[in-house]
A and B are shown apart, each in its own frame.
Chain A
Amino acid sequence: MPTIIFPGYYSSLEKIADFVKKEAQESGLSRAQIFAVENAVDEACSNIIEHAYGGEGIGDIHCTAIWDQKEFTIILEDHGRSFDPEKVPDPDLKAPLRDRKPHGLGYYMMRQWMDEVKFDFHDNRNRLTLVKFKG
């Protein structure tokens, strides 16, 4: 159950992706599944930096990988503002070009890439659990 602490900068995203891909590969996920997890984790970490911390260099992101025979899990923790997923509307994916909004896709895509997405907020710490089923 390796945990790595990354500084909350966008330049950490590639290093986080490298860590997640290595662990996912070791766990036995397929290439397509690894790509899905990489996408979801990138969206999650970008949101942590942009929304939870409100910018770069404010706080760290703790990234933990856990897996067993049935599933691969990434846990992301931060000390930023809590996130209420109920307040994020789904994007309109059928809207014409002129009506496409610049934001709101990241959280939606994170949920599509993963099988389970769970948010917890305890002791001033956000915990996001992302699960990908194997097989």
Chain B
Amino acid sequence: MEIHNVEYKHCDLIEVSGRIDSSTAPELAEAIKKIMDAGRFKIVIDMSKLEFISSAGLRVLIATQKNCRRYNRGELVFAGISKYIMDVFELAGFTPLFKFFDDVVAAVGYF
């Protein structure tokens, strides 16, 4: 898994590629924590290069969404999710809990 962060004026973008599993999920959690520790809770994750996500990765995303939505201070949204990764979200019943955008421009524009 590789993570790349970009800080925009109105939100933070995390580009994640490769695999999010029990081995790499803590690294993603740490990257997100750094953003939230800086008081920023509007986050876009670009999933266009993500190949795999397990329930360990989903746990990080649900914890992040709970934290971001607290006090209406922000939200976690996704961009460029592939059909396969979307299948994982659907199986986990996650699709009503997040917003999905076709690309990063649309997702960043949402904030």
A residues with a Cβ closer than 8 A to B are 9-11, 13-14, 17, 32, 35, 38-39, 42-43, 46, 49-50, 91, 93-94, 97-98, 100, 102-103, 105-106, 109, 112-113
27 contacts between A and B (CB under 8 A): A10-B22, A10-B23, A13-B22, A14-B23, A17-B52, A35-B87, A39-B88, A42-B21, A42-B54, A43-B55, A46-B55, A49-B22, A91-B92, A91-B93, A93-B92, A97-B62, A97-B66, A97-B69, A100-B62, A102-B59, A102-B62, A102-B63, A103-B59, A106-B54, A106-B56, A109-B55, A109-B91
Provide the residues of chain A in CB contact with B65, threshold 8 Å.
Answer: 97
Whole-angstrom CA separation of A113 from B59 in the bound complex: 18
Nearest Cβ distance between residue A51 and chain B, in whole angstroms? 12
Q: Is B111 in contact with chain A by the CB < 8 A criterion?
A: no
Chain A nearest CB, measured from B82 CB (Å): 10
What chain B residues lie within 8 Å of A98 (beta carbons)? 66
Does B104 touch A at the CB level, under 8 Å?
no
Name the A residues within 8 Å of B22 (CB-CB). Answer: 10, 13, 42, 46, 49-50
Known A-B contacts: A11-B23, A42-B52, A102-B63. Give 5 more (CB < 8 A).
A17-B52, A50-B22, A91-B93, A93-B93, A97-B62
A9 to B87, CA, bound (A): 27
- The verdict on B97 contacting chain A, using a C-beta distance below 8 Å, is yes
Kindly name the residue among B54, B56, B59 whose own CB sees the greatest number of chain A CB atoms within 10 A: B54
B58 within 8 A of A: yes
Instruction: Report if B84 contacts A (CB, 8 A).
Output: yes
Tell me the residues in window 59-110 of chain B with beta carbons closer than 8 Å to chain A beta carbons.
59, 62-63, 65-66, 69, 84, 87-88, 91-93, 97
A residues less than 8 Å from B19 (CB atoms): 13-14, 17
How far apart sit A109 and B56, CA to CA, in the bound complex (Å)?
Answer: 12
Residues in chain A near residue B84, CB distance under 8 A: 32, 35
- Which of chain B's residues 33-73 have a Cβ closer than 8 Å to chain A? 52, 54-56, 58-59, 62-63, 65-66, 69
